[in-house]
Amino acid sequence: ELESKRLQDEKEKLMRGHLILRLEKRNSLKELQGEREEIEEAKRKAEAAKRQSLLQLEKKKGELDKDARELRNEKDSLEQNFMEKEKESLRKMKMLERYRRILDEEKKKIDLEMERVAETTSKRP
């Protein structure tokens, strides 16, 4: 009878231990599942942030490409205007040179005429 009670007590003790182990195992599994869910949620958030960053970078790249095109167009326009002004300036310089030559020729003619007039005036009595 004493032996039976001792065996019964040991059996209950083992059963309680087994029950405690099962509860601990279940709690551990729940904790692991919770951690796994947290990790998955963190991964989803990281992926969403990454996608958002990529979208922002693509948008910024588009804006920079547009700015670069506008700057190239403005540069081309400025170069074209410069070339046109340079051509006009060269044309005006050629015209001025032509007028200078004409004026020099006219001055020589006037000087020759004045010499001739001076000579004829000095020969008069």
Which run of H or E residues covers position 99? Answer: helix 2-123
CA–CA gap between residue 60 and residue 53 (Å, rounded): 10
Q: For the chain, which residues score pLDDT lower than 70? A: 124-125
CA–CA gap between residue 3 and residue 15 (Å, rounded): 18
pTM of the predicted structure, to 2 decimals: 0.51
CA 34 to chain centre: 43
* Amino acid 122: pLDDT: 83
* Amino acid 92: pLDDT: 98
